Amino acid sequence: MDASQAVTRRHFLRRTAGAVGAAMSMPILIPASALGRGGVRPPSERITMGFIGVGTQGRGHLLGGAWTYVPGGYSARADVQVLAVCDVLRDRRENAKQCVNRYYEQRFGTGKFKTCEAYTDFRHILDRDDIDAVLVATPAHWHATMAVMAVQAGKDIYCEKPTAVTVRESQAVLAAVRRYVRVYQAGTQQRSEYDGYFRRACELVRAGRIGRLKEIYAYRDGGAIAWPKRFGSARPVPDGFDWDLYLGPVPWLPYDGTVHGAHPFDIGELNWGQHHYDIVQWAANADDTGPADLWMEEGRSCYKYASGVVVYGKPYPGEKAGMDGGVTLVGTEGRITVDRSNLFSVPEDIVREPLRPDEPRLYRSDSHSGNFLDCVRTRQRPICDADIAHRSASALLLGGVVKQLQRTLKWDPKVEHFVDDDEAERMLSIAKRPPWCI
């Protein structure tokens, strides 16, 4: 470079200052979306999210569904920007991407938003530094593995139930969340939604309105997972379906045209059960502990806590309500039944009388997704954090162990081991296909 082409630092600064001054003298046009006008938050205040699994449940969270309670799902929230979706089925992920981008185009205008991208492999989402949080709504056998990998990648996480499919997996999730100091919200939304029915029922029990709590009827019993020992004839994998990634931690098996979905390897109530046992734990004031004794009764798993509370994995005799995520709470002076549509008591006035100012109140959240997002911002503990999720998942999964062994077991909830039972202890974990071991 000769002297005529050289630009000194002083000359560069003088020229830059002149350009800046000229620019400042002209009107600056900033889109309303960047300023947070028109009900839209500026980009710096939006939580960026990726969605892993966009089938029925995941799509509902993404775009609106019966269990998301916000019209339009996370995509419609002013405080969220969806940057990525992922699914092993090509048509699902491409359709989800198109729906999100079409919505944002209508909302912000063409070319005025960062587009949502679609991926087959969830690790591409975890690798993105511009994504704050992920929502996992994959088949159950993936939940714990993805949760651990997500927090290791620095992501906050909302994970559908069950939290894990073995107790040891659940412990791994809790350990990872604690180590990497991430926000974790379990998708057991009954603590937040349904007009506060579940919270009110648990508060009434804590206040002694039914006397001393003696029994809880959980309506669902324990659940577990088991890899198939036999499978049908192999068939060609459909075009656009990543079968190997769908299996993930599952020992290899050929595609037979039937083994796919959210819960293909379940035993018992692995799908619904964590909803029920989350409320069992809340009502029994057992969020930091678990049952001590387990046995089978009438083909259902049953539990007893150190407090003396007995939990039956079946409906209360003659009661039809409660199946929809609910429980019946029986005390020395009455009982309360609660589910997603019902809250009633015997005697009737138990639930009619409002709580007094001196009676206990529980963590209040009126939106499960909103609570998660608030905690992502504030770094506070969400209503169904990893500690709570681990204990409610464990209660469910311990019932799955006793259901498979069909005999009485004793559990130490402090150290989380079966007492003098090597066979039961081995069932706290399950073999997983490399490299998906956690």
Residue at 84 is within a domain: yes
Question: Residue 171: what pLDDT?
Answer: 98
Question: Residue 140: what pLDDT?
Answer: 97
pLDDT at 3 over 70: no
Question: Residue 116: what pLDDT?
Answer: 98
Number of domains in the chain: 2
Question: Residue 257: what pLDDT?
Answer: 85
Domain identity same for 86 and 107: yes
* CATH number of residue 390's parent domain: 3.30.360
Domain identity same for 180 and 195: no
Question: Residue 112: what pLDDT?
Answer: 87
The residue among 330, 332, 294 whose CA lies nearest residue 313 is 294
Domain identity same for 104 and 219: no
Question: Residue 68: what pLDDT?
Answer: 74
Domain identity same for 110 and 217: no
Residue at 312 is within a domain: yes
The residue among 144, 227, 139, 124 whose CA lies nearest residue 437 is 144
For 285-325, the pLDDT digits (tens) are 999 999 999 999 999 999 999 999 999 999 999 998 888 99
Domain identity same for 319 and 216: yes
How confident is the model over 388-413, as a mean pLDDT? 98
Question: Residue 428: what pLDDT?
Answer: 98
Q: Are 302 and 291 in contact (CB under 8 A)?
A: no
d(CA 168, CA 428): 6
Ranking 15-19, 123-127, 428-432 by mean pLDDT, the lowest is 15-19
Question: Residue 191: what pLDDT?
Answer: 98
pLDDT at 110 over 60: yes
Residue at 432 is within a domain: no
How confident is the model over 414-432, as a mean pLDDT? 97
How confident is the model over 389-402, as a mean pLDDT? 98
Domain that holds residue 44: 33-190
Question: Residue 322: what pLDDT?
Answer: 87
Question: Residue 231: what pLDDT?
Answer: 67
Q: Are 80 and 49 in contact (CB under 8 A)?
A: yes
Residue at 372 is within a domain: yes
Domain identity same for 95 and 210: no
Last residue of a domain, one of 165, 190, 215: 190
Name 109's bridge partners.
Answer: none
Question: Residue 43: what pLDDT?
Answer: 67
Residue at 242 is within a domain: no
Domain identity same for 143 and 217: no
pLDDT at 269 over 50: yes
Cis preceding linkage at 347, omega within 30: yes
SS (H, E, C) the chain: CCCCCCCCHHHHHHHHHHHHHHHHCCCCCCCHHHHCCCCCCCHHHCEEEEEECCCHHHHHHHHCCCCCCCCCCHHHCCCEEEEEEECCEHHHHHHHHHHHHHHHHHHHCCCCCCCCEEECCCHHHHCCCCCCEEEECCCHHHHHHHHHHHHHCCCEEEECCCCCCCHHHHHHHHHHHHHHCCCEEECCHHHCCHHHHHHHHHHHHHCCCCCCEEEEECCCCCEEECCCCCCCCCCCCCCCECHHHHHCCCCCCCCCCCCCCCCCCEEECCCCHHHHHHHHHHHCCCCCCCCCEEEEECCEEEEECCCCCEEECCCCCCCCCCCCCCEEEEECCEEEEECCCCEEEECCHHHHCCCCCCCCCCCCCCCHHHHHHHHHHHCCCCCCCHHHHHHHHHHHHHHHHHHHHCCCEEEECCCCEECCCHHHHHCCCCCCCCCCCC
Domain identity same for 277 and 402: yes
pLDDT at 26 over 70: no
**pLDDT band for position 409 (cuts 50, 70, 90):** very high
For 162-196, the pLDDT digits (tens) are 999 999 999 999 999 999 999 999 999 999 999 99
Last residue of a domain, one of 190, 210, 245: 190
Domain identity same for 100 and 207: no
Residue at 3 is within a domain: no
Domain identity same for 81 and 214: no
Residue at 307 is within a domain: yes
* CATH number of residue 127's parent domain: 3.40.50.720
**pLDDT band for position 259 (cuts 50, 70, 90):** confident
Domain identity same for 136 and 276: no
Q: Are 39 and 79 in contact (CB under 8 A)?
A: no
Residue at 395 is within a domain: yes
Mean pLDDT of the residues in the chain? 90
pLDDT: which is higher, 305 or 253: 305
Domain identity same for 195 and 338: yes
Ranking 70-79, 283-292, 339-348 by mean pLDDT, the lowest is 70-79
How confident is the model over 203-224, as a mean pLDDT? 97
